[in-house]
Amino acid sequence: MKSLLKVLFAIPDRIYYLYQLIRFAPQMDGRLTIHGKMYMYSQRAHICFGNNVEINSNLKSNPIGGSTKTILYAKPGARIKIGNNVGISNACLYAAEEIEIGDNVLIGGDTCIYDTDFHSLDAKEREFKKEHIRIAPVRIKDNVFVGAHCLILKGVIIGENSIIAAGSVVTKDVPPNQIWGGNPAKCIREIGLYEDTLGC
């Protein structure tokens, strides 16, 4: 009886996984592996994957992100582009315009990437629901490693090979080959060719 219940409970997960593969197959260049249930929204928008993308989206596959699911949400007319050999764990990517992830990028558990402020900074605009919301694309270049529990905000470009320390809030561009951390994130040190002890 327990075995039968286990099989029955596993069926919805497999149907959901197949649905995701069928829905996004035309936009995939290669293998997409999803561990758990991922939420994707792309009505009149575009989400595309490169080769060998692996996504953790449950507690079992990556406990660092807690029980949160990976969310890829692209508003109508927006685009999320994910490159080759990318790993994403229990993260949220919300694109009102564009989020672009390069090749060989790792995005840690419970990280959020937003290209919009969602709401106006003006209290009157929020009160009367006539908001002018600021939006700017986010671009994460090749070989970037983003630690767990980070927040990357609109308009940010993270340069090649850079590292974002866990728990950081990134509000401005990060040059290539640097380690940044903190709230707001600042340069901690350069990543040298043979050592990483040089100052910024």
- pLDDT computed for residue 7 by the predictor: 44
Q: What are 132-175's pLDDT values in tens digits?
A: 778 899 999 999 999 999 999 999 999 999 999 999 999 999 99
pTM score above 0.85: no
119 labelled catalytic: yes
DSSP for 65-93, please give it: GTTPPPEEEE-TT-EEEE-SS-EEES-EE
Average pLDDT, integer, range 88-107: 96
Third-level CATH fold of 2-190:
UDP N-Acetylglucosamine Acyltransferase; domain 1 (2.160.10)
Hey, what are 99's tokens? 């989020």
User: Where do the H-state alpha helices sit in the chain?
Assistant: 2-24, 123-127
Q: Which of 46, 119, 132, 149 is catalytic?
A: 119
Is the predicted pLDDT of residue 11 greater than 60, yes or no? no
Confidence of residue 185 (pLDDT cuts 50, 70, 90): very high
Nearest CA-CA partner of 70 in 44, 36, 103: 36
Give pLDDT, residue 61.
66
pLDDT > 80? residue 10: no
Query: Residue 113: what pLDDT?
Result: 98
Give the count of beta carbons closer than 10 Å to the beta carbon of residue 62.
24
Asked if 110 contacts 65 with a C-beta cutoff of 8 angstroms, the reply is yes
Q: Cα 58 from chain centroid?
A: 15
Average pLDDT over residues 15-22: 51
Give 27-84 pLDDT, tens digit per residue.
444 578 888 888 887 777 889 999 999 998 877 766 665 667 899 999 999 999 999 9
Signed CA dihedral, 194, 195, 199, 200: sign only:
positive
Residues in a beta bridge with 79: 46, 98
Q: Which residue has the higher pLDDT, 181 or 20?
A: 181
Map out the domains of the chain as residue ranges.
2-190
Question: Could you write out the DSSP letters of every residue in 134-154?
Answer: -B--EEE-TT-EE-TT-EE-T
Length of the chain: 200
